[in-house]
């Protein structure tokens, strides 16, 4: 379901970007991206509680403690309700100063204010609702929320087209689509009660002891979240401050393609966290070792192949998708392809550290990476423009991931670094070298044809999959993969009598 959701959202995004640019104009679209980028920072007001609640709910689920689970959920619901009100108040204050912060005209500033407040309202409502999503995730039933998200994405896209074709502008578009997204919160809430019928959100269940317990973990998650926002969400802000909204739009094209690769290839790591917490709680080191080895290998197998094809076909892809006006994004795609490969390839290591009592080290590493990223981007953007921002992201990512996070994860699960490189990194990497030769040799065929581009990408993926499954891994591992796919297709959920809704 996670892959279906990612595929739906990304497919919609690919086709909606040029449609929105054509109907809104390059400047208005850049303004939309800028306003949305600013709202990303309000998610940090969850103070790390979002991930922390999943950790403790998963822990109490593993222990069969229904009372502690309800106390955790209720405590976080009331805390998040206060945070949501605070978030919208801050958004309102910030909207009054948009023209001073960014290089906007008076009319642009007014539109940005309205757009920003609508998106901020959606974010504010999302804080208390996130408790119900946390329950579903902690019970490893994310697919239920996935169904809602798929339907919501499709409805939002339809409304988007209707509003713009009717001749309305950016403000009306954001108002309509945000309303649809807010209505989906009702269904997310119902999912939580479906997964865990004994769930009770009550004022009397609010416990300061639970809040202190969660805060001890969440402070480090907050640092990680803050660092991630700086690493992956400040680029548009830096570009907007130094180069203007048109440059933001060019950057957004490259960023959207990289996000597609990340979303498509990182779904596995997105659902590993509660499993790592569960394995740590019951002290299953063997399971943690398997998670690191297989998670790293599969993550790299998906991202290396995708990033390779994207990087080598960037120019014809951009020309076909949005036209020569956005050719400046091609070089950015070259660099960010390496960024996404390192980020996704190392994601399993980060999840291992976050879910198995090594969150402090991960927090420090991410903060250092973020500071270096922001500093380099601000320095390099003045001289090298968009390329400087991309390089400023790449250098810290490679250093911190390769020299700090990955070795620490290997030590945590007691596996030698060379073993992981030999069994996970190398088997997923070398087939991409052969795929690169194929793409380079056939790149001249792709001119102005989506069909040829899709065919080339499909053949490259097929070559990679064939090499990986036939030659890169052992026969028993290949059989194990096919067995797991068969189990997923035939799986039936069983209930644990200790906690209703628990998968066996």
**Domain ranges for the chain:** 1-198+206-219, 234-499
CB proximity list for 451: less than 8 A, separation 6 or greater = none
Beta bridge partners of 499: 496
> Does residue 384 carry a pLDDT above 80?
yes
Mean pLDDT across 376-401:
92
CA 5, chain centre distance (Å)? 12
pLDDT at 114 over 90: no
What is the predicted pLDDT for the residue at 17? 81
pLDDT of residue 294: 93
pLDDT of residue 448: 66
Largest CA distance in the chain: 68
Mean pLDDT of 220-232: 80
In whole angstroms, what separates CA 397 from the centre of its chain? Answer: 16
What is the rounded average pLDDT of the residues 19-41? 77
Averaged pLDDT score across all residues of the chain: 86
Span of 38-47, 67-76, 448-457 with lowest mean pLDDT = 38-47
- Give 405's contacts (C-beta < 8 A, 6+ positions apart): 346, 349, 350, 353, 362, 365
* pLDDT for res 338: 94
What are the start-end ranges of the H helices in 41-141? Answer: 49-63, 66-95, 98-101, 106-138
Q: Higher-confidence residue: 458 or 267?
A: 458
Which of helix, strand or coil describes residue 496? Answer: strand
In the chain, the N- to C-terminal Cα span, in Å, equals 19
Confidence of residue 501 (pLDDT cuts 50, 70, 90): very low
Q: With DSSP H G I counted as helix, E B as strand and the rest as coil, what are the percentages for the chain, rounded to 5?
A: 85, 0, 15
52 token code pair:
């922390």
Give the model's confidence band at 498: pLDDT under 50 very low, under 70 low, under 90 confident, else very high.
very low
116 and 91 Cβ atoms separated by less than 8 Å: yes
User: For residue 175, what are the contacts with CB-CB under 8 A and spacing of at least 6?
Assistant: 114, 118
Cα–Cα nearest to 250, from 387, 52, 73: 387
Instruction: Please tell me which residue, 483 or 427, carries the higher pLDDT value.
Output: 427
In whole angstroms, how far apart are CA 439 and each of 247, 298, 310, 447, 454? 29, 22, 10, 14, 12
Those residues with Cβ within 8 angstroms of residue 389's Cβ, 6 or more apart along the chain or in another chain: 235, 238, 239, 251, 332, 377, 380, 381
Position 37 pLDDT exceeds 60? yes
Q: Which tens digits make up the pLDDT trace of 266-318? A: 878 878 888 888 888 878 899 999 999 999 999 999 999 999 999 999 988 89
pTM: 0.73
Residue 444's CB is within 10 A of a number of other CB atoms, namely 8
Span 239-249, average pLDDT: 84
Alpha-carbon distance of 208 to 206, in angstroms, equals 7
Cβ-contact 149, 89 below 8 angstroms: no
Q: What is the pLDDT of residue 491?
A: 61
HEC string of 321-340? HCCHHHCCHHHHHHHHHHHH
In angstroms, the CA 186 to CA 139 distance is 19
269: Cα separation from own chain's centroid: 10
> C-alpha distances in angstroms, 412 versus 201, 210, 289, 361, 401?
36, 27, 9, 11, 15
> How far apart are the C-alpha atoms of 389 and 72, rounded to whole Å?
41
pLDDT for the residue 408: 96
**What is the spatial distance between Cα 450 and Cα 18, in angstroms, rounded to a whole number?**
15
Q: What's the pLDDT at 217?
A: 87
Q: Report d(CA 401, CA 389) in Å as an integer.
A: 19
Radius of gyration, alpha carbons of the chain: 23
């Amino acid at each position: 379901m996670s892959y279906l959701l990612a595929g739906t959202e990304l497919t919609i995004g690919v086709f909606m970007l040029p449609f929105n640019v054509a109907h809104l104009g390059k400047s208005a679209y850049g303004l939309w991206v800028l306003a949305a980028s600013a709202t990303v920072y309000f998610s940090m007001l969850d103070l790390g509680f979002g991930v922390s609640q999943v950790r403790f709910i998963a822990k109490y689920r593993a222990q069969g403690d229904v009372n502690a689970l309800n106390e955790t959920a209720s405590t976080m619901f009331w805390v998040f309700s206060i945070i949501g009100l605070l978030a919208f108040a801050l958004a309102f204050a910030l909207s009054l100063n948009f023209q001073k912060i960014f290089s906007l005209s008076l009319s642009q500033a007014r539109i940005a204010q309205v757009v920003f407040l609508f998106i901020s309202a959606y974010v504010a409502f999302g804080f208390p609702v996130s408790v119900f999503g946390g329950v579903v995730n902690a019970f490893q039933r994310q697919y239920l929320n996935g169904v809602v998200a798929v339907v919501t994405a499709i409805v939002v896209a339809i409304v988007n087209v209707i509003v713009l074709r009717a001749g309305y502008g950016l403000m009306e578009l954001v108002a309509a689509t945000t309303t649809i997204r807010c209505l989906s919160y009702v269904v997310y809430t119902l999912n939580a009660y479906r997964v865990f019928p004994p769930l009770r959100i009550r004022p009397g269940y609010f416990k300061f002891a639970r809040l202190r317990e969660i805060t001890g973990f969440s402070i480090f998650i907050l640092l990680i979240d803050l660092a991630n926002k700086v690493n992956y969400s400040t680029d548009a802000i830096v570009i907007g401050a130094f180069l203007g909204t048109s440059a933001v739009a060019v950057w957004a094209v490259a960023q959207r393609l990289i996000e597609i690769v990340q979303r498509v290839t990182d779904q596995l790591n997105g659902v590993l966290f509660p499993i790592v917490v569960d394995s740590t709680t019951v002290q299953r080191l063997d399971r943690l070792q398997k998670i690191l080895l297989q998670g790293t290998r599969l993550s790299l197998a998906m991202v290396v192949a995708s990033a390779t094809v994207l990087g080598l076909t960037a120019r014809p892809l951009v020309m076909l998708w949005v036209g020569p006006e956005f050719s400046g994004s091609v070089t950015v795609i070259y660099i960010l392809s390496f960024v996404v490969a390192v980020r996704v390839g190392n994601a399993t290591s980060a999840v291992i550290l976050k879910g198995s009592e090594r969150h402090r080290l991960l927090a420090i590493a991410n903060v250092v990476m973020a500071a270096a990223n922001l500093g380099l981007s601000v320095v390099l953007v003045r001289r090298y423009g968009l390329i400087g921002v991309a390089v400023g992201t790449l250098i810290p990512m490679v250093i911190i991931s390769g020299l700090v996070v990955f070795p620490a994860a290997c030590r945590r699960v007691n596996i030698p670094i060379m073993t992981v490189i030999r069994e996970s990194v190398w088997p997923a990497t070398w087939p991409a070298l052969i795929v690169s030769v194929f793409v380079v040799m056939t790149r001249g065929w792709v001119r102005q044809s989506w069909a040829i581009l899709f065919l080339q990408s499909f053949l490259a993926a097929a070559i990679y999959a064939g090499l990986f499954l036939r030659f890169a891994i052992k026969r028993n591992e290949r059989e194990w993969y096919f067995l797991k796919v068969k189990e997923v297709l035939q799986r039936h959920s069983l209930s644990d009598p200790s906690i209703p809704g628990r998968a066996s």
